[in-house]
Structures are given as C-alpha cells and as structure tokens.
Amino acid sequence: MTPSVDPGVIARLRGALSRSSESVERRRPTGFTALDAALLGGLPVGALTEVYMAAPGAGALEALLPCLIPESGKSVAWVHPSSFPYPPALARAGFDLSRWMLVRPETDDDHLWALEQCLRSPGCGAVVSHAGDLPDSVMRRLALAAEEGGSTGFLVRPAALMPRPSPAAVRLLAEPVPSFVPERRRMRVTVLKCRGTPHTPQLVLEWNRETLDRDAFSLAADRTGLGGDADARESSVRTLHA
C-alpha cells in the first residue's frame, strides 16, 4: 500500500515554491529546478500556458498541476463540459477542494465565455481547461483575460495542434517516458516556447507522486536547431498575420 503524503512535505514544497519566485514576470515555480530555470522561474502568472499532451496518461497534470495551488483566498477553476479531475487525487496533490470550482459549460460558446470570465476574475489563481482548435483571435482574447485577472491559464491541447502559432506565453509538449522504478514517474517535456527567452530545451522530469520529490534533467541544454526553428516559424507566421 502506498504511504499517504505527509502534510509537512507539502508545506516544505510550497515554501520552496514561493521562495524561488524571482523574475520580472510573476511565475509559479513547478518545483522541477531545471524546468523552472528553462521557464524563467515557472509557469507565468497573468498569461496562458499550453500543454500539448501526446497521451492522456503521460503525467503532465500530475507533474504540473501542484504548482497551480492558489494563493490564500483564491480558487482554481476547471472549465470543461465533460472531463473533470478526480477530487480524491486533487486532495492528494495538496489542493484544498473547497477552493476548487468545476465549471461545466454545455455549449462551445458557453465554454469560451466561461473560460474568459474565469481567467479575468481576480478570484481565480489558476484556470485549467482543455482547448481544441481555437481561432487566433479567441486565443488572444483569452491571453488578455488572463493578463487582466492575473491568473495562470493552463490549457491542455492535443499534440496535433502544436505546429500552429499561439499567443500563449509558454508552450510545452508533454510525452510519456518509461520510468525505471515504479515509484518514480518520468515524462519528457519540450519547451516549445517561453516568452522572454529564445531557448527551447528538452527535459526529462522525474517525480514521486507520494513524496512529491521532484527532479529534472536536460536531454540537451539547448535544442537551438529544433526549438529555434519552431520559434522562427512561429514569429514568421505572426508577421504574416500582422
């Protein structure tokens, strides 16, 4: 049977998370040192982060969701018509369920509207949603809403949409990686874009779900070839749009 999480571990992790937030833009540290370094401190506050998932069981939520634990008084909103997080697992990850809000829009219009409302509300520390193919103008509106509300927009998107440009400040690709020991999970993260830096490294994150131990190492310090191209491609597309 798995040991349950010691609340002290969560407190320490949170402490470490809050201490390591030093950068121009406010960031939510992920606790993975190398990833935080690559992201200039963590996931941006007041902006969108896109996570392209190669497979649903890769572990991107498990690895990154804990950094969305909101500051005192704020809530996390999960906006989606059908998919929802499993509350006992959220509680395990250190979330206070009373600060969670599940928003279940029934139409696409309501989905985008609700997403925008949540992002714009100063009451939401973070907003999680799955986002399919959205027009550029909608993505920009969401990015603006996140900026106004000071929230972290966490959008899970299918990997097929990855080549499209996006106004998200951070874009990550999460891919499953076999782990060596059952207790420790692994996941490959490719930084596709991080506003403020041209570097787009590829990392392997390793963590223990029960102890919240986390570790990250770079596969290649800087995939200038690959990442740079992706970035250049994106900026050229944007120039065309402009």
Partner 1 sequence: MVAVSRPAWIAGVRPGAGVAAARSVCAGLVVSKHDPEADARLIARFANFCQRVTPDVVLEAPDVILLECSRTAERFGGEDALVDRLTRGFLRLGHRVKTGAACHPEAARTLARAAGDTHLRAEATTTIPTLAALPLAALALPSSMRRLCASLGISRIGALLDVPRSAWTARFGADLGRLLERLVGDVEEPLRRFVPEAAFRERVEFSSPVEETTPLLFAGKRLFDLAEAELVARMAAVESVTVLLETASKGPPIRLVLRPSAPSYTSRRFSALLQHRLETLRLDVPIDAVAATFERTVPIRMDATTLFEDPSAREHRDDVARLEERLASRMGGHSILGAALEEDHRPEKAFRWSSKTQETRGATRRLPEGPRPLLLEEPPVPLAVEEDASGRPVRVTRGPDRGPVRFSRGPETIETGWWDGADVRRRYFEIETAAGVRLWIYKDLGTGHWHRHGAFS
DSSP tag of 197: B
CA distances from 96 to 87, 92, 93, 124, 168 (A): 10, 9, 9, 14, 27
Question: Is residue 211 at the binding interface for partner 1, with CB under 8 A as the rule?
Answer: no
Q: On the CB side of 105, how many CA atoms lie within 13 Å of its CA?
A: 19
Among the candidate windows 40-48, 110-118, 159-167, 220-228, which touches partner 1 by CB under 8 A? 110-118
For partner 1, how many residues bind (rule: CB under 8 A)? 58
Q: Give the C-alpha separation, 47 to 168, whole Å.
A: 7
Among the candidate windows 16-24, 67-75, 221-229, 233-241, which touches partner 1 by CB under 8 A? 67-75
Among the candidate windows 34-42, 85-93, 159-167, 224-232, which touches partner 1 by CB under 8 A? 85-93
Nearer to partner 1, 37 or 177 (CB): 177
Out of 6, 22, 113, 198, name the contact with partner 1 by CB under 8 A.
113
Among the candidate windows 8-16, 34-42, 71-79, 215-223, which touches partner 1 by CB under 8 A? 71-79
Those residues whose C-beta lies under 8 Å from the C-beta of residue 226, and which sit 6 or more positions away, are: 200
Question: Is residue 7 at the binding interface for partner 1, with CB under 8 A as the rule?
Answer: no
Out of 15, 56, 158, 198, name the contact with partner 1 by CB under 8 A.
56
Rounded to a whole number of angstroms, the distance between the first and last alpha carbons of the chain is 57
Question: Is residue 94 at the binding interface for partner 1, with CB under 8 A as the rule?
Answer: no
Out of 8, 24, 88, 135, name the contact with partner 1 by CB under 8 A.
88
Nearest to 4 by CA among 100, 89, 87: 89
Nearer to partner 1, 41 or 59 (CB): 59
Contact 171, 189 (CB under 8 A): no
Q: Give the C-alpha separation, 130 to 212, whole Å.
A: 25
How many CB atoms lie under 10 A from the CB of residue 149? 22
Q: Which residues bind partner 1 (CB under 8 A)?
A: 1-2, 4-5, 53, 55-62, 65, 71-75, 77, 83, 85-93, 97-98, 100-106, 110, 113-114, 117-118, 121-124, 176-179, 182, 185-187, 209-210
